[in-house]
Amino acid sequence: MTEFWLISAPGEKTCQQTWDKMTAATTRPNNLSANHKFSIPDLKVGTLDVLVGLSDELAKLDSFVESVVKKVAQYMADVLEDSRDKVQENLLANGVDLVTYITRFQWDMAKYPIKQSLKNISEIISKQITQIDNDLKTRASAYNNLKGNLQNLERKNVGSLLTRSLGDIVKKEHFVLDSEYLITLLVVVPKASYNDWEKTYETLAEMVVPRSSNLLCEDQDSGLFSVTLFRKAIDDFKHKARENKFTVREFQYNEEEMRADKEEMTRLSTDKKKQFGPLVRWLKVNFSEAFIAWIHIKALRVFVESVLRYGLPVNFQAMLLQPNKKTMKKLREVLNDLYKHLDSSAAAIIDSAMDIPGLNLSQQEYYPYVYYKIDCNLLDFKV
């Protein structure tokens, strides 16, 4: 399970007692969750008005940062393309996997100095993540354009003979070039109709050069034949060919154009390879930065909400629970039993939630204890 419940409860005689009580209720004898203390430093409390306003702002910031974390993770998967199974090993926070980072969380004093006010810390995070979001848009746009142009060129060189580019198939010697009167056409003929083609191509129009047809290339269904005729017979030949289900491809042999196409493809391919390494490095670094910021916001939210709910002086224990999927409902019940004395209105909402039709879901996320979910499954697909 990559889901965590970050909760807090007021300190009893000591915070250690709060921790021991919760651990005893959730691990013995039922093993409902794996638990870790979640360390939050002594942050500046500020005034009650500021805390109330900050509570709403942090909720919005939490959603924004989570969305950026997911965007960076998802884009990493898109960029890695065929190596998507390598995504998870690149999604690290401070060089360790996400579960390890969360369960051993330590506040980063250098990035987010606790001498600053809570509002300042949230603004530092907001600016930092907005910058990452903007940079991601710019980098993704440039790389996607490059990738799209390359794919368009590659697409031209695959597919059936009816649609694909013929530049890499034909050679100069297949054509009569620079003739005032003669022209070489390329015709796609279904394999089942090869005999018909051989018998009839010379008579599809007047002025077809006898024995001028050659098979140049085949795919699963068809063959590409060249045929030479007088220019004045082109329209007549095309019309008759169509009646016989032979497809004349519009193609002019132009060495310069073909060379330019090849060079463009090589250039795009080289550019993509050049950009790939630095882009993946940027994504790794900024995923880590964004994820770390996100968990710091969770810490801020627990702190603010705990002070608002449990009052001053600051005295609460933050705890991280990793629930077992099969026992989540039971875990919720045990926590509610443990903490329902903290807030009778929350307990009433929970007790009656099953009876009230159309109960607002956000209400159901309200518990007698402070609670925030952290879901580390950040990708839309399973790797």
Q: Mean per-residue pLDDT for 160-173?
A: 88
How high is the pLDDT of residue 86?
83
Please say if the pLDDT value at position 353 is more than 90. Answer: no
pLDDT band of 267, cuts 50, 70, 90: very high
pLDDT band of 349, cuts 50, 70, 90: low
If you average pLDDT over every residue of the chain, what do you get? 91
- pLDDT digit string (tens) for 276-288? 999 999 999 999 9
How high is the pLDDT of residue 160?
87
Q: Give the separation between CA 53 and CA 55, rounded to whole angstroms.
A: 5
How high is the pLDDT of residue 159?
81
Q: Give the separation between CA 228 and CA 319, rounded to whole angstroms.
A: 82
Q: Alpha helix (H) ranges present in the chain?
A: 15-27, 48-80, 87-90, 98-103, 118-156, 194-200, 234-243, 255-310, 328-339, 344-352, 361-364
pLDDT band of 93, cuts 50, 70, 90: very high
- pLDDT digit string (tens) for 205-258? 999 999 999 999 999 999 999 999 999 999 999 999 999 999 999 998 888 888
Q: Would the CATH topology of 3-122+288-375 be identical to that of 172-252?
A: no
60 vs 261, which has greater pLDDT?
A: 60
pTM of the model: 0.81
- pLDDT digit string (tens) for 366-380? 899 999 999 998 886
Minimal CA–CA distance to 246: which of 226, 231, 228?
226
Which CATH number does 3-122+288-375 carry? 1.20.1460
Domain boundaries, the chain: 3-122+288-375, 172-252
**Top-level class of domain 172-252:** alpha beta
- pLDDT digit string (tens) for 12-36? 889 999 999 999 999 877 889 999 9
How high is the pLDDT of residue 166?
87
